[in-house]
Amino acid sequence: MPNTPTDRLHALDAVRAFALLLGIFYHATISFFPGWMPWPIMDTQRSVGLAGAGYVSHIFRMSTFFFLAGFFGHMMHQRIGTTAFIKGRLKRIGIPFLVGWPIIFGAFIAVVIWAVYVQNGGSFPENPPPQPPLTWKTFPMTHLWFLYVLAIFYVVMLGFRALIGLIDRKQRLAGVIDKATVGLFSTPFLAVVLALPITIALILHDPWYAWWGIPTPDYGFLPNTPALIGYGTAFVFGWALHRQPKLIHRFEKPWPLYFIAAIGFTAICISMIGISSLFETLPMGWKKAGYAASYGLAIWCWTFAFIGAALRFLSGYSPVRRYLADSSYWLYLIHLPIIMAAQVFVSQLDMSPYVKYTLIMGVSLPVMLLSYHLLVRYSFIGAVLNGKRKPKRSKT
């Protein structure tokens, strides 16, 4: 029997939470990457294995998030209308960014100062390097860049809908979009079509540090072109797909094939540049084109594999998954300075990097979950992030 829409939302909520939590696990690996890194704290022990895990997770986590943001965005807009949708997005996206950024950035700077002190042998350097001037191109978004980019996508999508509504009152274009979406699902080339825009964008981007895939738009108010195209494609596809939400169920049956393909394309990428070549730039040519194409296909195969697996195995209600889904937004908002502080704490210890990584996550994650339960879940903060929630009363 096909899953109900409610069941499918449980699965997709789980994938969205997984994408955010994966970002926490990813950032915790960075201090162990081999070679030089522009990261405030680098550990004395490095690990190619942790770099490999970080590489794989970084391929698809944000594309998956933006795909689901588009899917859920259309669902919400369809349910409550444009005015209420704008108010809701200002509350749950705008307020966390505007209020959260100065707090997060202040904590980030405090940890960076501590990291400099620790890595300099317990003292501050006499002549620290000058910092770049703060401009609209250098403004540090930190990891909250995803909120800013998401807001851009909402504005563009609502503006596009309004424009089309004026010139296409009979909704012919909507019918074309729906037919095109069904047509894509009827062919084996869905991942190829979706990978094409980001492939072209990455080929044309120069210099492109291929190991990092889609360049992170964490500096400046104008996101880089590959980020806008790659994440924008994911958002638009998610939005268009929810116009026919039953289509997403088609990812369930072939998820093992997508998983195998994702591993294959990832292996091709790694074979082309290796795990340790973090800042190798690829000149224009067949190698760059082949790597970009493989990377774009890996993005979508990983995304479809995890969505399909979730629909297959996680469609039922689970209180644990529901709690993690509810908490994941808060955890991601606050995680970076906490993870970095833990990285500083273990950075000089003489032990296995895998033990250190386990300590970082084993301490940081419970602390963040506790902060969610005590400070957020039933408070005004939780009402802003997830909507109002009443504490459950124990039965007598």
Rounded-to-integer distance, Cα 142 and Cα 210, Å:
21
> Three-state SS across 288-346?
HHHHHHHHHHHHHHHHHHHHHHHHHHCCCCCHHHHHHHHHHHHHHHHHHHHHHHHHHHH
Spans of all domains in the chain: 5-123+135-386
Whole-number pLDDT of residue 111: 97
User: What 3-state DSSP class applies to 281?
Assistant: strand
pLDDT, tens only, 36-57 = 888 999 999 999 999 999 999 9
CA triple 108-226-23, angle to 5 deg:
40
| Tokens linked to 112 | 């960076």
Rounded-to-integer distance, Cα 32 and Cα 166, Å:
53
pLDDT, tens only, 1-43 = 344 455 558 999 999 999 999 999 999 999 999 988 889 999 9
Whole-number pLDDT of residue 129: 75
Res. 394: pLDDT tops 50 = no
Rounded-to-integer distance, Cα 16 and Cα 34, Å:
30
Q: What is the 3-state composition of the chain as percent helix, strand, coil, each rounded to the nearest 5?
A: 70, 0, 25
User: pLDDT tier at 396 (50, 70, 90 boundaries)?
Assistant: very low
| Tokens linked to 388 | 């109002």
DSSP summary character for residue 132: P
**What CA dihedral angle connects 362, 365, 366 and 367, to 10 degrees?**
120
pLDDT, tens only, 250-307 = 999 999 999 999 999 999 999 999 998 889 898 899 999 999 999 999 999 999 999 9
Whole-number pLDDT of residue 23: 98
**In the chain, pLDDT over 70 holds for what percent of residues?**
96
pLDDT, tens only, 83-102 = 999 999 999 999 999 999 99
